Amino acid sequence: MSIKQYLAPFSKIISQKTLLKWTGRNMIFPYYHTISDADLPYISNIYPLRSIQEFKSDLEYFCSFFEPVGIEEIHSVLKSKRSSSKPIFHLTFDDGLVEVYEVIAPILEEKGIPATFFLNTDFIDNKGLFYRYKIGLLLAKLKKEESSEYVKNARIMLKDYSKWSGSLTSSMMALTYNDQELIAALAKIVRFDFEDWLMKSKPYLNTGQIKDLLKRGFKIGSHSVDHPRFKNIDYDFQKAQIKRSFKYLEKHFDLKERFFSFPFGDEGVQKQLFDWMYKEEACGLSFGVSGIKDDYHPFHLHRIPMDFCQENISQFIKSEYFYFMIKSLFNKNRIYRA
């Protein structure tokens, strides 16, 4: 059981308003990947998938205690070096999945809630597929055919590549950005065609949908080119991922404002990259995934990962506040970077 789960019972005793007063944390940044009632095996085999009703309940809770604001207001508050005079929240969504257009945006418009959508530029128009989603699709097929030759051959290949870790699922889940040739080889073994699936399923936003979201007042940011884990790639490649994705968004959508969310979070990312990104690439705001936490850079913000909300929304958010208070006692509520 995690520390946050241990803290959950306290949420029944202390109100959200009291926690806001105790901590002075008037700004929070919940984030999701997608929302759907449909079966999305490329996601559900990787991380929990939140339903439409769960999402609506989340929004009701946020709007009960926080005012929804656009990313420009967040930027304005930070530039002024002042705290927000009222509790506010800003929603963000990573990966640029099509449910943003079909499910999420209509709900947000109905409730008058702004949001920012972060896209991987190589996946726009379904030109490519995130390697973890490929793993999710392969796991879905292998689970359906547990006794088949596919499973046997996949095990053999993982062992041949020294990637076996005790079970098929754990071995597949441990594959990384650098294992994409192996993932492609596994797809051949189980006779799964990613390009054919992409063409038929179209899981990502297309250019027309993105332009329409912009016309409707939503904001678009970069989530890198093709979703590597930044702590596992070198400094030059980190810069290339940011620079290329910003350039693509400016060229195709005339985006002058630059916002960035780190794929998989910002663990291990050094001060040098932030300094370059803000000075040379004119980034306005960037986002990590460490919950309620401060960072050395005033324009780098940490978000609450809502996909992993397994208890009720009240317990989940309050536990984040309790955890922040405990970290503060040990000076662990801020990230310092080399």
pLDDT digits (tens, 9 = 90+) for 2-24: 666 666 676 678 999 999 999 99
Residue with tokens 């979201």: 213
What confidence score (pLDDT) does residue 3 get? Answer: 65
pLDDT at position 287 over 90? yes
Give me the phi and psi of 284, to 5 degrees please.
Answer: -85, -50
Token pair of 144 as six digits: 């359906």
C-alpha to C-alpha distance for 151 and 110, rounded to whole angstroms:
46
Name residue 240's amino acid.
A
- Region 143-170: mean pLDDT is 90
Beta-bridge mates of residue 304: 30
Lowest mean pLDDT among 157-161, 206-210, 330-334: 330-334
- Region 287-315: mean pLDDT is 93
User: Are residues 198 and 182 in contact, defined by beta-carbon separation less than 8 angstroms?
Assistant: no
Which of 66-70, 82-86, 319-323 tops mean pLDDT? 66-70
- Region 136-163: mean pLDDT is 91
- Region 157-174: mean pLDDT is 95
pLDDT at position 126 over 90? yes
Helix axes 131-144, 149-160, angle to 10 degrees: 140
C-alpha to C-alpha distance for 298 and 295, rounded to whole angstroms:
7
pLDDT band at 63 (very low <50, low <70, confident <90, very high): very high
pLDDT digits (tens, 9 = 90+) for 211-228: 999 999 999 999 999 999
- Region 289-305: mean pLDDT is 95
What confidence score (pLDDT) does residue 7 get? Answer: 66
pLDDT at position 42 over 70? yes
